[in-house]
Structure formats: structure tokens, C-alpha cells
Amino acid sequence: MLQDSGFTDVVIGEAVDTFSGAKGEDKARAFDVYGYAFMASRPPASPAGHGRR
Amino acid sequence: MAHDLLVDPDALREQVRDKYREVAVDPGGSFHFHTGRGLASRLGYEVGAVDALPDRAVESFAGVGNPFSLRRLAPGEKVVDVGSGAGFDSFIAAGQVGPSGGVAGIDMTAEMLAKSRQTAAALGLGHVQFREGLAEALPVEDAWADVVISNGVINLCADKQAVFAEILRVLRPGGRLQFADIANGRPVPAEALRDIDLWTG
């Protein structure tokens, strides 16, 4: 979805067991839910005049 | 472009507001997620940066990951925190960008905004401000931000395409989105995806 939205250079970090020991752990385990860090970039602007005729 | 949403955005927003109002006013309450300093430690935040913050800046923290784990923010950067809650990630960001940078935290829950603003004032952080707004309509000018951060918020938005489009709008060209969120490794049944109660707990 990030790339579909126009972001580039998508990086995904390691899974973190966010819900371990919390009340929501059972539901999280049922669907393999973990926390992740994501990083992505807005593409740089085209150089001035790029694409103009 | 119009697209189908799994749940009604306004109804989901109300449920999220109710839930996080509780987290703001009663951070020691019983929630389906962890909160506070224990959570920050679990998610790998820098110990010194967290220890330097007063309890009121940390106790209502309810993130799901660490948006700073893949890249530390640089001094002078301008940051938007989408769904800033009681301000924990905004205050961590403020420490990393320093007084030459700036942080704008955006949240829709009045109790969270009040708490974050009081904490910023108590800490004397002139380069941090908190604004009322929605992730789908950020009160930030075009291309203002070097970095957009968020933590456990986008999964609670019905229209994620609208959120990402808005984040793209406020980022400068070449700017970065650094966020943490949950993802499931097994498919969730279609009927569950349309059950609004399951979105918030």
C-alpha cells in the first residue's frame, strides 16, 4: 500500500512482540499480529524544467 | 478515487476516541495493550531519552513499535507526529531534532491534546506544538515536514489510502515517513474485518 500511495525505498524492521503478556495477547496470537517499524520516502522532486517542452 | 471501506470512518473514529480518552485520563487502567514506561522499554526506546521524561509524558504511551529504530532523526528536522496522543513520541522526536528543529503533533482526542500541551509547557519545549486534527486531514501546510512519524495509529484509520496521501502531501520531496504499526501474518476473516469492535480491541 505504501508503494501504491507513491512512496519509495520502503524498509521494514524486525517484528516486535507488542502484545506479549497483555490482555490482547490471545487475539494477537490468533492472527500472528506483531509490531513493525516502517520507513519510506516521498520521491525527490523532478529537476526544474524536467519533462517540460 | 473512490474505494470501498471496511467500516464507517466516523463510527470507528468515535470508538478510537473513547478508547484513547480512557488511556489519557486513566493510564493505569486495564487495556488490551501495554502502556507507559514498560512498553517503551519493550519496544527498544533509548533508555536515557525515556528516563529524562516525566511520568505524565510517558504513562499514556500506547504505541506498537519504535518509529526511531530504523533511523534516528537529525538535528534541525521538522517533524509531524500523526496521532500524537499524550505526546511521548513527539517529545522523543523533539530531543533528537533539538531546538533548531520543530515538531507538530496532531491528535483528535481532546484529553490527549490537553495532556500533551501541558507537558510541553512544563518541559519548556518551545519547538513542540500540538494541533487538533485528523490523520486524513492534517492541519499542516504542503511539503512542510522533513519527517512524518506515527505509532499504532494508521491501523485504526478506516481509509488508509487517504492517510498515506495526506502524509505524502505534508512531506517535502525526499522527506521520510517513519512509522510503527501492527501487521498480521495470518488472514483475518472477512466478517471480522467488518466488525468495528475488533478494530479497537
Q: Does B169 touch chain A (CB under 8 A)?
A: no
Task: Tell me how many degrees the CA angle B88-B91-B92 measures, rounded to the nearest 5.
Answer: 90
Q: Does B159 touch chain A (CB under 8 A)?
A: no
Domains and CATH numbers, chain B: 9-199 (3.40.50.150)
Mutation for testing the B interface, residue in A3, A5, A50 having most B CBs under 10 Å? A5
Tens of pLDDT, residues B158-199: 899 999 999 999 999 999 999 999 988 888 877 777 776 666
Q: Do A39 and B173 touch (CB under 8 A)?
A: no
Residue A53 has pLDDT above 50, yes or no: no
With bands split at pLDDT 50, 70 and 90, how would you rate the model's confidence at B201? low
Q: Do B67 and A1 touch (CB under 8 A)?
A: no
Most confident of B10-14, B16-20, B161-165: B161-165
C-alpha–C-alpha distance, residues B156 and B160, integer Å: 9
Annotate B132-163 with three-state secondary structure: ECECCECCCCCCCEEEEEEECCHHHCCCHHHH
Tens of pLDDT, residues A22-50: 988 888 898 889 999 999 999 997 454 34
Residues in chain B: 201
* Contact residues on chain A for B66, CB-CB shorter than 8 A: 16, 37
Domain borders along chain A are 8-41
pLDDT of residue B192: 75
How many CA atoms does the CB half-sphere of B191 hold within 13 Å? 0
Tens of pLDDT, residues B98-131: 999 999 999 999 999 999 999 999 999 999 999 9
* Contact residues on chain B for A11, CB-CB shorter than 8 A: 70
Mutation for testing the B interface, residue in A10, A27, A42 having most B CBs under 10 Å? A42
ipTM over 0.95 threshold:
no
* Contact residues on chain A for B63, CB-CB shorter than 8 A: 35
pLDDT of residue B188: 81
Q: Are strands B128-132 and A8-12 parallel, antiparallel or unpaired?
A: unpaired
